[in-house]
Amino acid sequence: MQEFDLFVIGAGSGGVRCARIAAQNGARVAIAERRHWGGTCVNLGCVPKKLMVYAAEYGREIDDARAYGWDVTPGPHDWRTLIDAKDREIERLNGIYVSMLKKAGVELFTGDARFVDANTVEIGPSELAPDTAVQTVRAKNIVIATGGAPTRLDIPGAEHAIVSDDAFHLENRPERVAIIGSGYIGIEFAGIFAGLGSQVDFVYRQDLPLRGFDEEMRRHIAELVPLNGITSHPGSTPERIEKTSEGYTLHVKGGKVIETDCVFMATGRHPNLTSLRLDLAGVEVTDGRIVTRLEDAKTNVPGIYAIGDVTDTYNLTPTAIAEGHLLAERLFGETGREWSFGTTPKAVFFSQPLASVGLTEEEAAEHHTLDIYTSSFTPMRQSLSGRKGKAFMKLVVDSKSQVVLGAHMIGPDSPEIIQGLAIAVTAGLTKRDLDRTIGLHPTSAEEFVTMRTPTRHVPPSSDKQN
């Protein structure tokens, strides 16, 4: 039986980084993958999604280019060309992941890995390797990095719906799509399908999309939804899906019905745990997730760790990578690196995109007296084309210390701008630092250094209650 210092289950962003860094530090490392080298982000998440966002943006840009003198008219979009090109790119990235792991000296197992006991793993046949013989290995340390999968609502007719995994491989682009859920996946795919020419019904149970984001940003993003040609159905809880001769009917509580060609459930994700046989290793699962300590990725069983979406904490690729990297260094290398998880920037690739770093106004107001700075303007890029939709920027500043607790933006390139600002926020940026920074003209980003007067002062929410 082969023995390793570290065995990683799942070759997604977090698992691959953990395996590679451990191997580079001299450990004997193996990794098992059952489906896609590179995991969700590369195959069924961030990367193909962003390529599809670009596809939707090109259509809008061709449209706008006429105002700048280009004699062009957007023709129909060819879905097959996009999907084939996207698949070729993903295949190229899969290859890079495999060669990167091999180069680092990591042993690769293709198949479905599951626990035999706390130090033993068995790898059997899987989708990627249906004919693989069962192999058993032992390891001093085992990392569970199996990621998550889309969650389907438990409603009658749910089997008729697609989830994000399917959306990347549809044979044809549906002319009408009803998207359930207004988290990241729901709103991003609403933008993609609408941008490519589909009629989109956006169905969600809150008053505003993107629960958890800053309330004011949610209101501004909601204003952009109809400008993208998307029909919103806020306050709508889905009840059942019915197959009809024309397509599907989505029935919503209260009697509303939506006729469509495709129902897309973007209703959250859950950790991939079922096939792992965690009970044989004694790993505890609470509410469907492995509970770990963020600082050391430890589970309740010594020598077994969990990182990334399987822990259901941040559910973001860069945080999974950071967790994997830190764990590998802690086990086999020099420690000392630190990551500021609290200032993890986030982006929603809608049109226009929304990006944030730090606290929302609502979170910050729980403990701080705040100065809130906001600015709303039409981006210069839209001036000649007349495209509608305002950019909006917001700074959440602690009144006393002047520390910037949160920065939020909706507008062109906001993810690129907020990534830069995230460095400053992580380093303890104050409003005074922004005030003494010279703007870069003419950009949208310069607005962050020219907001002089607070839009409002906000007392801590504990004061409001008294």
Positions marked catalytic: 441
Q: Is 309 assigned to a binding site?
A: yes
Nearer to ligand NDP, 212 or 459 (CB): 212
Cβ 404 vs Cβ 397: under 8 Å: yes
Q: Is 107 assigned to a binding site?
A: no
Q: Is 197 assigned to a binding site?
A: no
Q: Is 39 assigned to a binding site?
A: no
DSSP state of 186: H
Structure tokens at 226: 């109809």
Q: Smallest Cα–Cα separation from 144: which of 323, 327, 285, 307?
A: 307
Cβ 160 vs Cβ 249: under 8 Å: no
Helix, strand, or coil (residue 424): helix
Q: How far is the CB of 190 from ligand NDP (least distance, A)?
A: 11
Q: Is 186 assigned to a binding site?
A: yes
Cβ 410 vs Cβ 424: under 8 Å: no
Q: Is 97 assigned to a binding site?
A: no
Q: How far is the CB of 267 from ligand NDP (least distance, A)?
A: 4
Nearer to ligand NDP, 346 or 431 (CB): 346
Nearer to ligand NDP, 153 or 422 (CB): 153
Q: Is 277 left (phi over 0), alpha (psi -120 to 50) or beta?
A: left
Nearest residue to ligand NDP, using CB?
Answer: 183
Q: How far is the CB of 238 from ligand NDP (least distance, A)?
A: 6
CA–CA distance, 22 with 327 (Å, rounded to integer): 9
CA–CA distance, 228 with 434 (Å, rounded to integer): 33
Nearer to ligand NDP, 12 or 238 (CB): 238
Buried b (16+ CB within 10 A) or exposed e, 7-40: bbbbbbbbbbbbbbbbbbbebbbbbbbbbbbbbb
Nearer to ligand NDP, 228 or 315 (CB): 315
DSSP state of 341: G
Q: How far is the CB of 301 from ligand NDP (least distance, A)?
A: 26
Q: Which residues bind ligand NDP (CB under 6 A)?
A: 153, 181-186, 188, 204-206, 211, 237-238, 266-269, 315-316, 346-349
- Which residues fall in the annotated binding site for FAD? 50, 309
- Which residues fall in the annotated binding site? 50, 181-188, 268, 309
- Which residues fall in the annotated binding site for NAD(+)? 181-188, 268
